[in-house]
Amino acid sequence: MESQHQSRSNPEARAKYRIRSFSMRGHNRMARDYDEVLEQHGPTYIIDVPVGPAAATVAPDALIDLTAEFDREAPLIVEIGPGNGEQLTHAAQQHPDWNFLAFEAWHPGVAKCVGNFARAELSNVRIIEADVAQALPIVFGLEIVQDDRAVQGGSGVGVDGTGIATGLVAASHQNAKNPRAHELWTFFPDPWRKARHHKRRLVSDLFTLTAAGVLEPGGIWRMATDWENYAWQMRDVIEAAAWFDNPHVGERPDPEDREPERGGFAPRYEGRLLTHFEERGRLAGRPAHDIVGVRREAPTQNG
Ligand SMILES: C[S@@+](CC[C@H](N)C(=O)[O-])C[C@H]1O[C@@H](n2cnc3c(N)ncnc32)[C@H](O)[C@@H]1O
């Protein structure tokens, strides 16, 4: 009998939950090696969540207890889109006293991460295979409230009527008890280069509400990209966000910027490994920009 969590073939549900920031690679077909790795090490590292109405979604009523999953309380770092897990594996080795939770929608990427975690014999990292934009509010029990006039381009799940994008209504979902993150990492998200695809980019005004809900007050959202106009967009999003401060306003002006004097870029995060992915961009003439947002205690009224 088909359970309520297995309605993947329902086209209406699939359209509703289609991942917007994620381009499919290789039809998610896994190499045989990955099967073996997942069979052997998946149970250690993958948080096995009930799936939602479409592939790469989490069921809205999934109960996830992060403290139990890690079997301890420790500062939490959340990484979005770790790819093959190069940075994540490195960081988890460097900080055995931190818990690392990753969200990756690309199935072979999940298998590669798991293989890397196992080779490094890590015990402080877990991964959820899901579209992060859909999964984060569920895993952290967030109810995002927004006003469509304040946050353009989003399909809000509620309107608070005050005219500002406040987000973060205290949720009754049991997952709201999960610890908030010390840091949230979004390194080299899919760039969606064509202007008509920019709306698919993960870092957006609407996503700042989710990011703020995941982070503890004073927590840090670290971003990096090798696409200049995405770096400018990240900077613009953080500086407009009601829940974030940019501690590097005016720093490191970029002559290529459409507002060259403006700056707003962070120094390279010392905890960020030079990954193969970044190196490829660098060799192609695309040096990375780092952008940082510090989560405020409370939102500002004017962003
Ligand atoms: C360009 S790669 C960068 C990988 C890695 N961060 C690095 O720097 O090497 C972007 C990664 O984000 C993942 N991704 C994109 N959209 C996602 C989403 N909505 N949810 C989860 N992962 C996503 C992709 O599958 C891919 O692994």
How far apart (Å, rounded) are the C-alpha atoms in residues 303 and 293? 13
Per-residue confidence at 3, pLDDT binned at 50, 70, 90? very low
pLDDT at 13 exceeding the cut of 50: no
How far apart (Å, rounded) are the C-alpha atoms in residues 230 and 243? 20
- Which residue's alpha carbon is nearest to atom 24 within ligand 1? 81
pLDDT at 84 exceeding the cut of 80: yes
pTM of the model: 0.85
Query: What mean pLDDT is predicted for residues 257-265?
Result: 94
- Which residue's alpha carbon is nearest to atom 16 within ligand 1? 22
Would the CB of 269 count as within 6 Å of ligand 1? no
Range of the domain at 245: 11-295
Q: Tell me the pLDDT of the chain averaged across its residues.
A: 84
How far apart (Å, rounded) are the C-alpha atoms in residues 10 and 45? 29
Place of tokens 């040096």: 287
pLDDT at 149 exceeding the cut of 70: no
pLDDT at 2 exceeding the cut of 70: no
Q: Is residue 179 part of a domain?
A: yes
Helices 207-214 and 132-139 cross at an angle (nearest 10°) of 40
- Classify 289 as helix, strand or coil: strand
Distance of CA 93 from the midpoint of ligand 1 (Å): 21
Q: What percent of the chain has pLDDT over 90?
A: 68
- Classify 24 as helix, strand or coil: coil
**pLDDT, tens digit, 9 for 90 and up, residues 198-244:** 999 999 998 999 999 999 999 999 999 999 999 999 999 999 999 99
How far apart (Å, rounded) are the C-alpha atoms in residues 262 and 267? 15
Ligand 1, closest atom to CA 134? 19
Query: What mean pLDDT is predicted for residues 238-253?
Result: 96
pLDDT at 147 exceeding the cut of 70: no
Would the CB of 116 count as within 6 Å of ligand 1? no
**Residue 110 CB contacts under 8 Å (≥ 6 apart), including other chains:** 38, 46, 104, 127, 129
CB 125 within 8 A of CB 98: no
Catalytic residues: 190
**What CATH number does residue 40 fall under?**
3.40.50.150
Q: What percent of the chain has pLDDT over 70?
A: 79
Would the CB of 83 count as within 6 Å of ligand 1? yes
Ligand 1, closest atom to CA 135? 20
How far apart (Å, rounded) are the C-alpha atoms in residues 212 and 257? 27
**pLDDT, tens digit, 9 for 90 and up, residues 174-207:** 899 999 999 999 999 999 999 899 999 999 998 9
Ranges assigned E (strand) in the chain: 76-80, 99-104, 125-129, 181-187, 215-225, 244-245, 289-295
Distance of CA 302 from the midpoint of ligand 1 (Å): 31
- Which residue's alpha carbon is nearest to atom 11 within ligand 1? 81
Q: Is residue 166 part of a domain?
A: yes
Per-residue confidence at 159, pLDDT binned at 50, 70, 90? very low
Q: Is residue 256 part of a domain?
A: yes
Radius of gyration of the chain (CA): 19
Query: What mean pLDDT is predicted for residues 20-29?
Result: 50
Q: Is residue 4 part of a domain?
A: no
Q: Is residue 302 part of a domain?
A: no
For 200, which DSSP code?
A: G
Would the CB of 189 count as within 6 Å of ligand 1? yes
**pLDDT, tens digit, 9 for 90 and up, residues 90-116:** 999 999 999 999 999 999 999 999 999
Structure confidence at residue 61 (pLDDT): 87
Ligand 1, closest atom to CA 190? 1
- Which residue's alpha carbon is nearest to atom 17 within ligand 1? 22
Structure confidence at residue 221 (pLDDT): 98
pLDDT at 42 exceeding the cut of 70: yes
How far apart (Å, rounded) are the C-alpha atoms in residues 190 and 58? 21
Structure confidence at residue 161 (pLDDT): 36
Q: Is the dihedral of CA 250, 254, 255, 256 positive or negative?
A: negative
CB atoms < 10 A from the CB of 3, how many?
9
Would the CB of 185 count as within 6 Å of ligand 1? no
Q: Is residue 286 part of a domain?
A: yes
Q: Is residue 59 part of a domain?
A: yes
Pocket test for ligand 1, best of 79, 190, 193, 276 (most atoms within 8 A of CB): 190
CB 129 within 8 A of CB 104: yes
Q: Is residue 2 part of a domain?
A: no
Structure confidence at residue 151 (pLDDT): 37
CB 194 within 8 A of CB 163: no
For 249, which DSSP code?
A: B
- Give the number of domains in the chain: 1
How many Cα atoms occupy the beta-carbon half-sphere of 137 within 13 Å? Answer: 22
How many angstroms from the chain centroid is the CA of residue 23? 15
The residue type at 278: E
Ligand 1, closest atom to CA 19? 19
